[in-house]
Structures are given as structure tokens and as C-alpha cells.
Amino acid sequence: MTPWPIAEVMPHADPMILLDGIEQVESERILCTRTIRAGSLFVDDDGGMPSWVGVELMAQAIAAWAGCRARAQQRPVQLGFLLGTRHYSCNVDDFPAGARLRVEASREFHDEQGMGVFLCRIESQGIHAEARLTVFSPPDAAVFFEQKSKETPHG
């Protein structure tokens, strides 16, 4: 599968795209990168990024994987939702300035309704984070939102 430019496969817009690019993309896996730079979104005054942002980096890697699949099938990039994780572990409190993070997501499960589970990791020298993320991407987001708005009482 083609590793597209990150902005072409993400449903986000700058400055909310936190990944720098895609190194590899396969049928069930993606490897993205992020270098921590001063002045970037979520970067502290000392130049580090809090490690809790790693969950969002992982979620964006999943979004990039889904976007690459959509582009390869000549479909539009769709919106998806991070439902959560039961456990995120990281061996550092902050990703330090200049660190080049490798963010990997591998699909473990999916169903036809759009639910999915991905095993995710972030690696860099002296850094290891991992989580299993649950995500949802409805087959047709417009129909999904229309149905949900009809189900929600307005008042």
C-alpha cells in the first residue's frame, strides 16, 4: 500500500495533525513518525511533550492507516472515533525535545459495523509506550450522525 503524505490521509487539519509522516503502511499495520520540536502543539516550555499525548499519537496513526486504505480504494477519508483504552503504559513522563518517535499501530480486530482494536506502540531511544486502543469508524459517517440526531431528544 502507498504511504501517502500524512495530510492527505488524515481527517484532521493543521495544527491538529500531530504526526510528521508515514514510514510504512501494510494491510494490517502502519508505522508513523513524530519528532518533538519546540513550539509545536502540546509541547511544554522546556521543549518536551507530555507522554499522555502518546495516546493521541497512536490514535492518529490508526486514522492515517484508515486513510491510506480509503485512498488505495479510491474512497474519501472518513472520520473515526477513539473510544478508549483500558491501559496505556509509558516508561517516561515526557517525550524529550528532539526525540524521533516511531508510532506503530497494528489492527487486531474489526467488524462490519466499524468497531476495531489496534495494538499500538511508541518507540525511541530509551522510550517505550504501548496501549490497545478501541476505535469506531462508521461505514457512512453522514448516515450515522443523521441517525444519532434523530435518536437524541432536542429540548
SS (H, E, C) 19-76: CCEEEEECCCEEEEEEECCCCCCCCCCCCCEEHHHHHHHHHHHHHHHHHHHHHHCCCC
Supply the pLDDT for residue 4: 85
| pTM of structure | 0.90
CA distance 110 to 134: 10
Supply the pLDDT for residue 143: 65
Contact residues for 65 (Cβ-Cβ < 8 A; gap 6+): 25, 29, 30, 105, 107
Supply the pLDDT for residue 12: 84
Supply the pLDDT for residue 148: 58
Q: What is the pLDDT along the chain (155 residues), one digit of tens a residue?
A: 677 899 999 988 888 999 999 999 999 999 999 999 998 999 999 999 999 999 999 999 999 999 999 999 999 998 899 999 989 999 999 999 999 999 999 999 999 888 999 999 999 999 999 999 999 998 766 666 666 566 666 65
Q: Which domains does the chain have, with CATH numbers?
A: 6-151 (3.10.129.10)
Written as one letter, the residue type at 75 is R
Supply the pLDDT for residue 155: 55
